[in-house]
Amino acid sequence: MQRLRILLERAFRWIPSVFWFNFKTHMIRILGILCLLSLALGAEPARFIQDRFAIGFWVPPRTTNNLPERYREIREAHFNLVIGTSGFGAEEQVRVCESLGLKVLVGADDPATPCPTAPPAGATA
């Protein structure tokens, strides 16, 4: 009987420490999972939504005759971006392209040449 009592005491003496170790381990795992879930379910970052797709052409018109009509034809061909200047100065290029609803990337002759300014998109005169 004495032997049984000693064996039981030894067995039960280890149960609380083993239980506590498992409890701490499980709680750490549960807290880690909860943290990951809170990050996953948190506020989503703002997504980029592309409202336009730039379609340009490699070389601007090589003619200087009736350029506004050429750019109108370009717009009707579903291009929406003009790169470079052709027969216009940069400011005139911006004015003609904006009147037709085309976006424009003009080239400056040298780095000191200021780019022409245009009113912001959606601005009313």
Contact 80, 103 (CB under 8 A): yes
Residue 119 has pLDDT above 70, yes or no: no
Quick one: pLDDT band at residue 87, thresholds 50, 70, 90?
confident
Q: What is the pLDDT of residues 32-53, one digit of tens each?
A: 888 777 777 776 777 888 888 8
Which class for 114: exposed (0-12), middle (13-18), buried (19 or more C-beta within 10 A)? exposed
Extents of the domains making up the chain: 1-46, 50-125
Q: Are 78 and 57 in contact (CB under 8 A)?
A: no
- Cut 0.75: pTM above it: no
- Inter-residue contact 56 to 81 (CB < 8 Å): yes
Residue 43 has a pLDDT of 62
Instruction: State pLDDT tens for residues 60-82.
Output: 777 778 888 988 998 999 999 98
